[in-house]
Amino acid sequence: MYSNGYIFRYAAILVIIAAAVLSSANMLLKPLQERNMAIEKMGYILASANIENVTSKNAIEKFNKYVVEEILVNSKGEVIDSYKEGNMEDGKAFKINMKEELYNKSRGKDFELPIYVVNKDGESIYVLPLLGTGLWGPIWGNIALKDDLNTIVGVTFDHKSETPGLGAEIATKSFQKQFIGKKIFDEKGNFTSIKVVKGGVKKLPKDQRIHGVDAISGGTITSRGVDAMLSNVLESYLPYIEKQRKK
């Protein structure tokens, strides 16, 4: 019969070996995991600009084909980096951590945000990444604007843990296609963002419906999260957008 000391030592050795194996596996798999995340990110960016037939196998190729510039701007709307050559995933903008930058904003500190310029059929489309909070966790996405930096070409949204059939509907094409053609500025040039309206955009005055979409039925809190995300992040890009619209 083994002593308690022997059993304890044996168990401790097994735990150490298991921890070492898991740590080694994590180190070996981390580059692959990061690569997969980068590919998924590329796919979302391209999808928001309505680039079709993007797969995990061709995402890198298409990203480098259609993304012609990556811009990094600060809180004043000043361009602090512009990347146009080489692999676009190597640009500073692609590596920016939106969570950290928006946290800096919430603390009143300077922050940096990425912009992806997509060339589709000779037209420049500006893709702005989004990040916010839903009912159960983070939500994120991209909004693509025409070169007027007002009219929406398309959007993508995704989530970590929203309720299937309810808040998770933000990731569906039926919800996202509502945004196409909507505008984030009114006729006087005032920023409006895009309202996600409970009960439907028909509740808005007719002249305001171009700035709104229908909320998700039964997904009120997630819809509010999308609304807040759009308002907060687009407002963060306003200094840059307004500078460009005045040119």
Is 8 contained in some domain?
no
Q: pTM value?
A: 0.87
Is 31 contained in some domain?
no
Series of mean pLDDT values for 10-residue runs along the chain (247 residues): 61 68 59 81 97 95 97 97 92 96 95 98 97 96 98 97 93 97 96 97 95 96 97 97 88
The predicted structure's pLDDT at residue 7:
61
Is 23 contained in some domain?
no
Provide the residue range defining the domain that includes 82: 37-245
Is 199 contained in some domain?
yes
Is 45 contained in some domain?
yes
Q: What residues are paired with 214 via a beta bridge? A: 197
How many structural domains comprise the chain?
Answer: 1
The residues near 122 (Cβ < 8 Å, ≥ 6 apart) are none
Euclidean distance between CA atoms 103 and 109, whole angstroms: 9
Give the H/E segment covering residue 13: helix 4-48
Is 134 contained in some domain?
yes
Is 116 contained in some domain?
yes
Is 79 contained in some domain?
yes
